[in-house]
Structure 1
Amino acid sequence: MNKTAYKRYLRTQNWQKLRFEVLKRSGGACERCGYRPYKRGGLQIHHLSYDRVGHESLEDLIAICPRCHMELHGIRGKRSPKNVKH
């Protein structure tokens, strides 16, 4: 899936439903480090594998804080939610 199609997919009802379920499962904490953001929207959803994008299950996804998300994608430098957002 190319970048444009992936961004379009992230706006679908299917993705929004999966995202909601993963956030609910996380209980408001990063599923990698346990950090609990003080404000709503502080967690992001990360694909553990991109093999089934569009057909993923809840087990393919984790809720993580922006810092962990950047680390998982190998992004260094300024740690800002703007750098990685899914």
Structure 2
Amino acid sequence: MGVTGRGTVTKAGYRAYINSPEWAAVRARYWASKLPHECYVCDAPRQKGMHLHHRTYKNLGAERLMDLVPVCPTCHDLVHHLHRTNPVAARNGLWGATKYARAMVQKQSKRRS
């Protein structure tokens, strides 16, 4: 997974962590907290299959609950797509791409109203 706090993570290390009891405990703590439960990007209410998205991987394995935001699966895919393919969205890292996705989705939502 790399060194905690150094921002280094391999795909294999990430997968191992996401499937670990430690990550299950972090998820349980988040969902039991008073932090938001709706999708950060589209504001959809918590639903089965809701993901917890890392704002950064720098604390992976030692993340604080504030390092996480809930996102629906569709928005989670959008965030990572933007992070990989859109230099403007990715300019400020993973969290920047997350905020970019939120602004984009909310702008589209207003157009439909």
TM-score by length of 1: 0.69
Which structure has the larger Rg? 2
Match of 2:79 in 1: 72
Match of 2:15 in 1: 7
Within a 5 Å distance, the mapping from 1:27-42 to structure 2 comes to 28-36=37-45, 40=48, 42=49
CA deviation digits over 1:12-40, x for unaligned, max 9?
A: 22211111222344565213322125x52
2:21 partner amino acid: Q
Match of 1:63 in 2: 70
Unpaired segments ≥5 residues, structure 1 = 76-86
TM-score by length of 2: 0.55
In 2, the alpha carbon distance for the partners of 1:20 and 1:4 equals: 23
Q: Once superposed, which parts of structure 1, at least 4 consecutive aligned residues long, lie more than 2 Å away?
A: 21-29
- Structure having the higher helix fraction is 2
Match of 1:80 in 2: none
Aligned length: 73
Q: 1:28 to 1:48 in 2, by over 3 A?
A: closer
In 2, the alpha carbon distance for the partners of 1:69 and 1:48 equals: 11
CA deviation digits over 1:14-67, x for unaligned, max 9?
A: 211111222344565213322125x52x20111000111111110111111012
2:16 partner amino acid: R
**Paired residue secondary structure (2:52):** strand
Higher relative contact order (CA 8 A, sep 6+): 1
Match of 2:28 in 1: 20
1:36 partner amino acid: P
